[in-house]
Amino acid sequence: DIQNQPSNLTDGMHVVVEALLRNGFDTIYGVVGIPVTDLARHAQERGIRYIGFRHEQSAGNAAAITGFLTGKPGICLTVSAPGFLNGLTALATATVNGFPMIQISGSSDRAIIDLQQGDYEGLDQMNVAKTFAKASYRINRPEDIGIGLARAIRAAVSGRPGGVYLDLTTALLGSVIDQAEVEKTLFTVLDPAPKMIPDRQAVDRALDLLSKARKPLVIIGKGAAYAQAEKSIREFLEQTGIPFLPMSMAKGVMPDDHPLSAAAARGLVLKNADVVMLLGARLNWLLAHGKGQKWNPDARFIQLDIEPEEIDSNHPIAAPVVGDIASSMEALLAGLTAYPMTQQNDWLEEIDRVKQVNAAKMEAKLNANPSPMDFFSALKAIRTVLEKHREVYLVNEGANTLDDTRNVINMYSPRKRLDCGTWGVMGVGMGYAIGAAVTSGQQVVCIEGDSAFGFSGMEIETICRYQLPVTIVILNNGGIYNGSHANLGGGTDPSPTTLDAQARYDRLITAFGGTPYYATTPEELEKALEAGIASKKPTLIDCAIDPKAGLESGHIGNLNPKVVGK
């Protein structure tokens, strides 16, 4: 209820806060300024936690990851024009990833903006956002705040989740309205992400195809992680004995050390599987679009997805199952009695042989122990510590830092690996770490490339200000990809990929009262990481890596356009 008002009148800002409270929102991530400063103050006054950032993009990323972790939209609050645009990158990224969030932004005077007469931070934000978000709305009247928020919530979480933009004009925020009247317009949204039960025939078709497979494969994507369907997925895989491949953010839906994991034989299973069942994973660039050299050209696909338009987007799907993954997995499990599956032992043995060979190759790299450290010797030390702390959230971004960490560090529970996602975007690290720490109250470890860290590094002040249990490890090889290139023009300027390999990122966190560590050997790194986790306090470990270590573009160098003569 709207309290502590001197009269029976209230304003748009208070009404927005009441609408948020009615719908169970307990946290806002943002950067304040004209015209939303008092909105944040009122929210805090009413018991909503407000986390203030140094840049809107990180606030948006925190909201997005909160959406991924909880299935409820995270809320990001921004100021007009530049603040809105800074947040928009995160909103677009969330939309591409299928994470629900709502960016609420103040905006300037519509009358002036529409006639392009030059208002303070004037921009037609609602229309700009349309291109980048799942939906974009503007609320113009205080009596529409309740219904406007409801539209934003439903758009964010129903069907394929995504980012929603909600435009609140200065006039709306300052509008005066009778409390009793506006009370009547506020309500709690009922069942915003309803179950979507798959068609029975579609389920039978999928089971029939799967039961005939000799080399079946299940690919688990972050849509399955989001759907929190891990229990039925595990039951289905263990009952049928079908091997699985986790996409990056789906690592941990099934534990990475599960005997059915084919992660270490990725090349083999893509090239040979005859029936592939996609669980909340798109056949986009991350899976080479389901065609070409990496794939068995005769593979047939089953796809479980909530978004009907996703089916056949890149490759014909022999058995689409449109529904929410939790409901679809339940239906598939129930159907197993009618479609019994035989475990394909020859296939599993073939996979195991390749897994063993590849695992041995990986161990050799991890044990090489060069001086200075490379990515693998550093990751071996990190692995030793994280194996003892399987409960931590792992945020991971960079090029080689991303690819090598994904391959070396096992995940054992779902929604604990938070990374660059569908766009392979840099700069999500600190926002995701803050969002995960605030949402869960648990320890977060960030494994960051030195370049990736730079995109959101100032948020270590936010981490320290809120005393969050975040330990940041920077694998510092002094460059984008690596730090060993020369200026082709021969001048004294550093090359385009060069950063400062001598930079001591650990010293940054001392400015804000966090604990610094500097590691030049695996032993030092192991000790520092153990101490950082034990402290449950903001910690930053600068880990000196050989500037020559690291491939151009990590594992996706093939995506660079070819250079003639190179």
Where does this chain bind Mg ion (CB under 5 A)? 449-451, 477, 479
Closest approach of Cβ 222 to ligand ADP, in Å?
Answer: 4
Question: Mapping DSSP to helix (H, G, I), strand (E, B) and coil, where does residue 251 land?
Answer: strand
The CB-side HSE value for 138 (13 A sphere, CA atoms) comes to 17
Q: Which does 449 bind (CB under 5 to 8 A by kind): ligand ADP, Mg ion, none?
A: Mg ion
> Can residue 221 be called a binding residue for ligand ADP (CB under 6 A)?
yes
Q: Which is nearer to ligand ADP, 329 or 543 (CB)?
A: 329
Question: Mapping DSSP to helix (H, G, I), strand (E, B) and coil, where does residue 135 land?
Answer: strand
DSSP for residue 124: -
Q: Which does 477 bind (CB under 5 to 8 A by kind): Mg ion, ligand ADP, none?
A: Mg ion
Q: Which is nearer to ligand ADP, 185 or 284 (CB)?
A: 284
> Can residue 325 be called a binding residue for ligand ADP (CB under 6 A)?
yes
Strands 300-305 and 319-322: parallel
Contact mark string toward ligand ADP, 233..252, x via CB under 6 A:
--------------x-xx--
Torsion-angle region of 565 (φ positive above 0: left; ψ -120 to 50: alpha; else: beta): left
Residue 561 token pair: 């356009």
Choices 49-57, 222-230, 373-381, 536-544 (CB under 6 A): range interacting with ligand ADP = 222-230
Q: Which does 250 bind (CB under 5 to 8 A by kind): Mg ion, ligand ADP, none?
A: ligand ADP
Q: Which is nearer to ligand ADP, 160 or 300 (CB)?
A: 160
Choices 254-262, 301-309, 441-449, 455-463 (CB under 6 A): range interacting with ligand ADP = 301-309
DSSP string, 389-419: -TTSEEEEESSHHHHHHHHHS---STT-EEE
Kind and range of the H or E run holding 380: helix 375-386
Closest approach of Cβ 484 to ligand ADP, in Å?
Answer: 31
- d(CA 507, CA 203) in angstroms, rounded, equals 57
- Distance between terminal CA atoms of the chain? 68
The identity of residue 565, as a single letter, is G
φ/ψ of 537, rounded to 5, equals: -120, 165
Q: Which is nearer to ligand ADP, 14 or 251 (CB)?
A: 251
Q: Which is nearer to ligand ADP, 243 or 514 (CB)?
A: 243
Closest approach of Cβ 36 to ligand ADP, in Å?
Answer: 30
Torsion-angle region of 496 (φ positive above 0: left; ψ -120 to 50: alpha; else: beta): alpha
Q: Which does 515 bind (CB under 5 to 8 A by kind): Mg ion, ligand ADP, none?
A: none
Q: Which is nearer to ligand ADP, 14 or 160 (CB)?
A: 160
Q: Which does 305 bind (CB under 5 to 8 A by kind): ligand ADP, Mg ion, none?
A: ligand ADP
Kind and range of the H or E run holding 139: strand 135-139
Q: Which residue from 226, 295, 376, 505 is in contact with ligand ADP, where contact means CB under 6 A?
A: 226
Closest approach of Cβ 435 to ligand ADP, in Å?
Answer: 18
Question: Mapping DSSP to helix (H, G, I), strand (E, B) and coil, where does residue 483 land?
Answer: coil
- Which burial class, exposed, middle or buried, applies to 364 when counting CB atoms under 10 A from its CB (0-12, 13-18, 19+)? exposed
Strands 176-178 and 9-11: antiparallel
DSSP for residue 511: T
Sheet holding 470-476, edge to edge: 417-419, 393-397, 444-449, 470-476, 539-544, 515-519
Residues 43-102 that bind ligand ADP (CB under 6 A): 97-98
Closest approach of Cβ 446 to Mg ion, in Å?
Answer: 14
DSSP string, 146-182: HHHHHHHHHHHHSSS--EEEEEEEHHHHH-EEEHHHH
Closest approach of Cβ 316 to ligand ADP, in Å?
Answer: 16
Choices 110-118, 300-308, 425-433, 514-522 (CB under 6 A): range interacting with ligand ADP = 300-308
Q: Which does 420 bind (CB under 5 to 8 A by kind): Mg ion, ligand ADP, none?
A: none
Q: Which does 307 bind (CB under 5 to 8 A by kind): Mg ion, ligand ADP, none?
A: ligand ADP
Contact mark string toward ligand ADP, 6..45, x via CB under 6 A:
----------------------------------------
Site residues (CB under 6 A) for ligand ADP? Answer: 97-98, 160, 221-223, 226-227, 247, 249-250, 280-282, 284, 286, 305-307, 310, 324-325, 422
